[in-house]
Structure 1
Amino acid sequence: MSKKIVKIHNKSDRPNNIVEKENEIVEKCIEIEKTLPTFMKDFFIYLRNGVALSTRLAYLQDIFFFCKYLVSETNITTVSEINAISIESLNDVKARDINRFLGDYCTRYTVNETDMVTIMENHNRSLARKKSSLTVLFKFLYRDELISENITDGFNPIRLPKPQPDAIKRLEIDEVAIMLDIAESGNGLTDKERIYWEKTKLRDKAILVLFITYGLRLKELQQLNISSFNFGRGDFKIYRKREKEVNMPLNQSVEKVIFDYVQLERVSNDYVLEKHKDALFLSLQKTRMTEKAIRQLVKKYTSLALGTTKENGYSPHKLRATAATSLIQNGFSIYDVQNLLDHDNVTTTQLYAAHKKNVKREIVHRFEWLDEYDKKSSPLE
């Protein structure tokens, strides 16, 4: 059966490509909901209106995985299909069952396929996400009086490693310069890579400059449209997590690389399908670049700047860290950087502040009390 054409009737301010992407996630959520027990219907409604769309999908995937575990790995229920699980069976689930699921089964399990066996491992961060999903589910069922006991207080804690500033991977200032030079000159690329680079060098440079200037998330950059940019007003629009719409100011460097790419390299819309005409960054196939393609591009250029293999190149998120540390090293406050990068908590931004070199020495040397050692009347002079 051929796939139906999706037509977007969009009366919101959000671009069609974002509405379409969100619809794809919604469809995935609906498909999972169809496989789960019907008594969870009110819980599905709660997720639809109470959490972010990506969180809704993650919770449903985790709950489906848990229900699959109940059916195939326990004697809590005797049914063979996930959607046949009864509320009475969930009422029989105790905290120890959840703790065994998370602490024993989830840490390492196998997936048997026709011609291979895949070993799956989850570390504490993944386990904590699964615990959070089940906590939300069981609290909701207890609140709605579908189960008689709130078992979530008995869930074992999952210890997450405290983020360490020294563990944050990012490019140094000189490595950023090397990366941009490679994007501009093609130095270090193989003969085969240079063939493609000749057709995409302005695009590649624009992508890298946007990442290291604004610390954009991969999704935010991939969704950019030509219509996102208002050069007359000097800004462009991005759509962040939790459906936040934000106007970002343009500086001259960003304006130049975007203008050069659009005017000198990007293919004319006469050769682009209607669906992709507004996309800022196009692939050589004249379609919107995928997140995977952008990630591979970043890993290629960062690996060359670092002098390592492509596998050890940095992801776009490491360029986000690069933007944060570079801004702080250039004197911007952590609160300014927090605002630019859209961090929920300033403690996240403080991790990048720890990378500012010799900050204590700089502060003390610039703050002398005795006149004979005070080399300035103002730190700005």
Structure 2
Amino acid sequence: MGIRADHHRTPPAPGPEARPARRGPRDWAADFACFAVAVVIGLTGLDALRQHPGLPAGVAVADQVVGALACAAVWVRRRYPLGFAVATAVVAVVAQTAGGAAVVALFTLAVHRPFRQVAWVAAFSLATAPLTFWLYPEPTLNMLAAVVFAAVLLSATVGWGMYVRSRRLLLESLRERARRAEAEAELRAAQAQRLAREAIAREMHDVLAHRLTLLSVHAGALEFRPDAPTAEIARAAGVIRDSAHDALQDLRAIIGVLRTGDDTDGARPQPTLDALGDLLDEAREGGTPLTLDRRVTDPGEVPPALGRTVYRIVQECLTNARKHAPGAPVTVTLAGGPGEGLSVEVANSAPAGPVPPVPGSGQGLIGLTERAALAGGRLTHGPRPEGGFRVTAWLPWAP
């Protein structure tokens, strides 16, 4: 039995392209640092602008206004990284003071968008660098050196932005993996709890059904035969008393397992194949004619888990026979050995007369089939052609 881990799909965590809902203290600090970088580089451009001979005053003022607007736009870089990068790359061609904002915009684009978009903007900036240096020549650098400096600056900006992006993606993938591992751990814990509940429910059914059926059958016999001999009534009352006492003991043992969380404290030892004789004797005392055909090689070597499964199968079959065919003969056959497996067959004849109705859910045979499957074997059941009912199981027995 397994629990499907895909019954609901966990929504993906936001990546670097996701639009932030609100800025945290760290985001505000990063934005302020980017704004400061844009302003510092813009002031450097302003200094170069003042040293440009023959520049009209109106052009200088317009350059400063555009540069100030570009620096102010740094605060919206997270919301519109591509538009901000394209706009500043175009403006920086003719505005010296907008160069710092263009560098910050390219870095932001590298952090938040795929490399293809970054490459196009960086290529445009590099291609237009000669035009910028032609319009505003550097007094200390020639054209080739200025273009090489621009290429190095663009490469460093793009490289640093891609590193930040890859680091963020790595951290986000690790967080997502941790979230999935936590969800899978919760599913495994829920599955383990369900399996434990099923095992406890199966054990309660196997243990209590046998006792309570004895009690119900003999109580029903007393109800339908009020004129029975005194000795028979006393015998039935003794069986009822013993069955009720044993049922209480078994119930206390199971509750002890529930309280302690394991099967070592508060629980009686689990039955094995050696306890099968006591079970059959108890059934005979309850009025069930029983025949045991035992052809097991090395019965003392039967593994405890295998013996417990055989015991539970026989116990449930005797319970069903007592409910649906009281007084009918029952034959229990065991055969097999190490390497060939252990075969179990429990067959009962048809009841001699009408049977008082006994409540039942039909879950016993389903539980037996599941128990045999969990042990690696198989179990079949059905009516016999000559009347009655037969349950046949085969269980593996390692050599």
Q: TM-score range by the shorter chain?
A: under 0.3
Q: Which has the higher helix share?
A: 2
Higher relative contact order (CA 8 A, sep 6+): 1
Larger radius of gyration: 2
Q: Under a length normalisation based on structure 2, what TM-score does the superposition of the two structures give?
A: 0.20
